[in-house]
């Protein structure tokens, strides 16, 4: 597991595939309305968003003009705006079952946030030694 966070992209792919498998299993075992029809779109959105913001953060941290705190806060703001735009777009399209869309969206949002925090803590621990 430690080798996955040496390459953040590999860790992101592994985490996304794991979430995909868990969601697929939940759909098979517990059929019902709690898994929105756009769940895989949400998952793909967060995988791409996390990959892009992670790539940008890595490039910006290599520049000496930015501190790590400003880069992380900037990426958080970019992620927040992208999420607002994504939710607005889905609401504008008029999909059904919006309650479960919001619940599924924020569960996946929090899982990817935990993934980023774990990766950040792992990297900070490596730099503190």
pLDDT digits (tens, 9 = 90+) for 31-89: 877 788 888 999 999 999 999 998 888 888 888 777 777 888 888 899 999 999 999 99
Q: Which pTM does this prediction carry?
A: 0.80
3-state DSSP assignment of residue 33: coil
Q: Which long-range contacts (CB under 8 A, 24 or more apart) does 93-101 make?
A: 95/36, 95/37, 95/38, 97/33, 97/36, 97/37, 100/33, 100/34, 100/35, 100/36, 101/36, 101/38, 101/42
Q: 25 CB contacts (<8 Å, ≥6 apart)?
A: none
Give the closest residue to 82 by CA, choosing from 45, 117, 120.
45
Check: CB of residue 50 under 8 Å from CB of residue 14.
Answer: no
Token pair belonging to 84: 């607002």
pLDDT digits (tens, 9 = 90+) for 107-120: 898 988 888 887 77
Q: How far apart are CA 11 and CA 115, in angstroms?
A: 9
Ranges of each domain in the chain = 2-128
């Amino acid at each position: 597991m430690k080798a996955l966070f040496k390459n953040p992209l590999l860790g992101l792919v592994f985490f996304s595939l794991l979430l995909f498998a868990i969601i697929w299993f939940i759909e098979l075992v517990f059929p019902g309305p709690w898994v929105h029809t756009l769940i895989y779109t949400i998952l793909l959105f967060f995988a791409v968003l996390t990959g892009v913001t992670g790539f940008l953060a890595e490039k910006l941290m290599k520049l000496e003009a930015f501190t790590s705190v400003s880069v992380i806060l900037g990426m958080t703001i970019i992620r927040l705006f992208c999420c607002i735009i994504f939710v607005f777009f889905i609401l504008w399209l008029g999909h059904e079952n919006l309650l479960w869309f919001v619940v599924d969206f924020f569960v996946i949002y929090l899982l990817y946030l935990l993934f980023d925090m774990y990766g950040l803590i792992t990297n900070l621990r490596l730099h503190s030694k």
